[in-house]
Structure 1
Amino acid sequence: MVNPSEDARTSTKVVAITGAGTGIGAATAELLADHGHAVVLAARRAERLDEVAHRIHARGGRAVTVTADVSRYDDVVGLVDTAVGEFGRLDVLVSNAGISKIGPMADGDVRGWSAMIDVNLRGVLHGIAAAMPVFRRQGAGHFVTTLSTSGLKIVPQQGVYAATKNAVRTLLEALRQENTDGVVRTTGISPGMVATELGDSIDNDELRHEIRQNMADFGMPPEAVARAVAFAISQPADIEIGDITIRPTVQN
């Protein structure tokens, strides 16, 4: 079991972040690097990762990049292995990669549904499977996962997307209950509308325009969610921040 006093004295951590090329992932990487943490950035687009890493390095931070698709288990194992190989350990895995193929279920978008399941749900499971042995071996580790308020307030057009997020919410609670020895912590963060590129993955033209407009009108900056991640991982080892909901004050 982790000694809380020892953990509290360890102010810097090694944090791996998926979906780190843009939006919440990039903002989280930059904020945590500014706080002195070492970050391992993962996403499918290498050029976006390089841009984020360049900004971090320019400010004196520590960052390495890994091109990875979270729907592929071997890619996520590679992410974890890179963190341990570069920095000697992995303290936090932020599972942030996600896609949104929203639309009426009557459209029967089987391909879109499968893609969301692969990234939003299977990708998180891959992270748990890859990082858990490292966390148990170290005697400490923290899973931080981006969920969504779409899973808290169910609305039309977002049923399958919300289902993937609520499936992850369920597995995180089970994971928490399976690990009450103080070694592994879990945090689910449910953002409301955030101004990111998530809307770009929506195939329906009308819905994509609507989401983009909402993001422009009242979406939070990704840095707001990044601050929530920083808060969760800053707690001493005997404290677990299980759930955080963060949304614009004007969002219904």
Structure 2
Amino acid sequence: MAEQHWPVAVITGASSGIGAATARALVDHNYRVALLARRINRLEELAADLGPAALPIAADVTDRPALLAAAERIAAELGRADVLINNAGVMLLGPFDSTQREEARRMVEVNLLGAMTATEVFLGQLRAGGGDLVNISSVAGRTARAGNAAYAATKWGMNGWSEALRQELQPDIRVTVIEPGAVATELTDHITDPAAKQGAEQLYEQLAITAEDVADVITFAVTRPRRMTLNEILLRPTSQPG
């Protein structure tokens, strides 16, 4: 009798917010979860709560050697990755000028190139058994506005890349892009422009949905029968105007 394969999900940016909430939701659905992020202390705390189904690994999505090492460890300790959730990201809103140059570069490197690198590293594992690739984009991948130019660029890029991958990888790998509106996470904590930070915090305080709300949607998508794919899911707080 063949040994049972418990599904394995790899989650980047798993130390807080949507990543941590998704890990909890997937463990409740009998997944093993590999928790990837830079803050190992936060990952270890989460893994302690989740039990033996969780494996914490310190890895920055901009560091390909760290991702390669993580992929080897995951395969050895949990089994082949069935799901990759590209959740790691930063939202550094502000006017587009020279003072934002490094922040714009960081968003491209983390939000877009980081997702591409993680996908490239885990692609072989996902293909091996018919897997799921979930890319966390944003409403900003559909609606650009003043003050989010670089962030919107990364999310529009994520959406276009995801659609191209959908066509390239089907039917071996299902590709889903999730586009949340305002979600109560740590995203606004890292904004350095005072006006942009104040505006984002006020909006989020008024109407943000929870990370658990988004985690429920992700879990629903990856647990659908293999005959169907939820390719694109846009979700906003009910009161969010745009």
TM-score by length of 1: 0.90
The yes-or-no answer on 1:123 pairing with 2:99 is no
Q: For the Cα contact (< 8 Å) 1:194–1:222, is it kept in 2?
A: yes
The match for 1:6 is none
Distance in 2 of aligned mates of 1:44 and 1:199 = 18
- 5+ unaligned residues in a row in structure 1: which ranges? 1-9
Q: 1:65 aligns with which of 51, 56, 68?
A: 56
Q: Distance in 1 between matches of 2:79 and 2:15?
A: 23
The DSSP-based 3-state class of the residue aligned with 2:184 is: coil
User: Deviation at 1:140?
Assistant: 1.1
Matches within 5 A, 1:223-238: 223-238=212-227
State the partner residue of 1:159.
149
- The count of aligned residue pairs is 238
Query: Could you tell me which residue of structure 2 aligns to residue 3 of structure 1?
Result: none
Any conservation in 2 of the 1:16–1:80 contact (CA below 8 Å)? no
Partner amino acid, structure 1, of 2:29: H
Where does residue 44 of structure 2 map in the other structure?
Answer: 50
Secondary structure of 1:109's aligned partner: helix
RMSD, aligned CA: 1.5
CA distance in 1 between counterparts of 2:43 and 2:185 reads 16
Distance 2:70 2:155 in 1: 22
Q: Which runs of 5+ in 2 are unaligned?
A: none
Structure 1, residues 174-214: CA drift from partner, whole Å, max 9, x if none? 1111123x211110000000000011121112221222222
Aligned residue number for residue 20 of structure 2 = 26
> Are 1:76 and 2:67 matched, yes or no?
yes
What percentage of aligned pairs have identical amino acids? 36
**Aligned partner of 1:68: which letter?**
A
| Candidates 166, 185, 207, aligned match of 2:196 | 207
**2:26 is the counterpart of 1:37:** no
Task: Report whether the alignment pairs 1:169 with 2:154.
Answer: no
Q: Which residue of the partner structure matches residue 186 of structure 1?
A: 175
2:136 corresponds to which letter in structure 1?
T
Secondary structure of the residue aligned to 2:183 is coil
Tell me the equivalent position of 1:105. 96
Q: Which runs of 4+ in 1 moved over 6 A?
A: none
